[in-house]
Amino acid sequence: MLLSLFNAVELGIIYAIMALGVYLSFRILDFPDLTVDGSFVTGAAVAAILIMNGVSPITASFLAALAGFLAGCVTGILHTKGKINALLAGILMMIALYSINLRIMGQPTLSLLNESTIFKQLESIWEATGIDAALNGMLTFFGADRLPPTWSVVIVMILVTLAIKLLTDYLLKTEVGLALRATGDNQVMIRSLSANTDFLIIVGIGFSNALVAFSGGLIAQHGGFADVNMGIGMIIIGLASVIIGEALFGVKTIAIATLAVVGGAIIYRIVVAMALRVEFLETGDMKMITALLVIIALVAPKLLQARKEKKRRLEKRARLNQEKVGEV
């Protein structure tokens, strides 16, 4: 139980980078970008093939992000210059990327089990620090019997994801970032304030997919394989993270919203991990669980709000009636 929770957090924090990418396209640019299903795999494919060819895992991860950036830019160009509807542009790119990903990998699946990955390198450095021993000692003290093999991934990835979150926060507050946000909010207005909205959309969707592909590259190294089908439903997972996070933590400022997205990604993984422990559910049910989660996260807050409103009105009415009775 504890171990699966630990694994969920570990995965969640890596997927959070992908969720931040989805947040950028969906929320900031108001662009429902389905490229994500393809660009996630592109990131995994690029990272895997490069590592297998002897490129250092860190360089490979950054090149994976670059590949995602380019894929996103193409979607942006299709939408802005080709005037293709945003959803369709994303779907077209997603389909095209499926073939491109196969070409990159040369075969449907690549195994990284015998390769050096960013996480294996990390672990070997990590072992010398003795942090694992201390943390696991604490867990044993609290009565855990199955211990996580390493804390390096969770701790380092929290730092990496937070760094990306802070960078995103900063970028969205720069002059260019403000124009980017306005592009998703009121295009007519920001164009009248001399911003090139086409360029902003292209770069924005590019940046969004760079994060998605970076996350894909890391997931491939974490899981030890890249598979051409690993991106199916990724957009919904990203969306689930964004919506769950927003429902739980709010969206008052950009900094809170991005933190909510990271939190949402982790909570999503925990919920899935818990759901999979339920006996009659199978791994194949995961997509449906995801869909249900998104639906609940979308509908529940509205229902709660409506109930609260109704209660408030009824109470107000009751108070008024009471006062009237008092007058008589």
Kindly indicate which of the ranges 139-147, 188-196, 233-241, 306-314 contains the residues binding other proteins, using the contact rule CB under 8 A. 188-196
195: left (phi over 0), alpha (psi -120 to 50) or beta: beta
CB of 308 to other proteins, least distance (A): 20
Residue 150 or 208 having the CB closest to other proteins? 208
Phi–psi pair at 110, nearest 5 degrees = -120, 135
Amino acid at 237: I
Phi–psi pair at 111, nearest 5 degrees = -100, 135
DSSP state of 196: -
CB of 39 to other proteins, least distance (A): 23
Query: E strand or H helix at 227, and its extent?
Result: strand 225-227
Report the residue from 194, 279, 284, 326 that binds other proteins according to the rule CB under 8 A: 194
Residue 173 interacting with other proteins (CB under 8 A): yes
First to last CA, the chain: 63
CB of 67 to other proteins, least distance (A): 23
Which residues, 153 to 172, sit near other proteins by CB under 8 A?
Answer: 170-171
Residue 59 or 174 having the CB closest to other proteins? 174
Residue 83 interacting with other proteins (CB under 8 A): no
As a whole number of angstroms, the distance between CA 80 and CA 258 comes to 26
Query: E strand or H helix at 109, and its extent?
Result: strand 109-111
Residue 175 or 323 having the CB closest to other proteins? 175
Kindly indicate which of the ranges 132-140, 175-183, 265-273, 283-291 contains the residues binding other proteins, using the contact rule CB under 8 A. 175-183
DSSP state of 285: G
Residue 179 interacting with other proteins (CB under 8 A): yes
Which residues, 202 to 261, sit near other proteins by CB under 8 A?
Answer: none
DSSP state of 163: H
The answer to whether the CB of 218 falls within 8 A of the CB of 91 is no
Can you tell me which residue has the tokens 């209660």?
311
As a whole number of angstroms, the distance between CA 38 and CA 322 comes to 62
The greatest distance separating any two alpha carbons of the chain, rounded to the nearest whole angstrom, comes to 90
The residues, any chain, with a CB within 8 Å of residue 97's CB and separated by 6 or more, are 35, 37, 38, 39, 41, 42, 71
CB of 200 to other proteins, least distance (A): 9
Residue 190 interacting with other proteins (CB under 8 A): yes
Instruction: Tell me the CB-side half-sphere exposure of residue 227, using CA atoms within 13 A.
Output: 8
Residue 114 or 194 having the CB closest to other proteins? 194
Kindly indicate which of the ranges 7-15, 53-61, 178-186, 266-274 contains the residues binding other proteins, using the contact rule CB under 8 A. 178-186
CB of 58 to other proteins, least distance (A): 24
Residue 178 or 296 having the CB closest to other proteins? 178
Residue 190 or 228 having the CB closest to other proteins? 190
Report the residue from 162, 196, 274, 298 that binds other proteins according to the rule CB under 8 A: 196
Report the residue from 163, 193, 248, 295 that binds other proteins according to the rule CB under 8 A: 193
Residue ranges binding other proteins (CB under 8 A) = 170-171, 173-179, 181-182, 185-186, 188-197
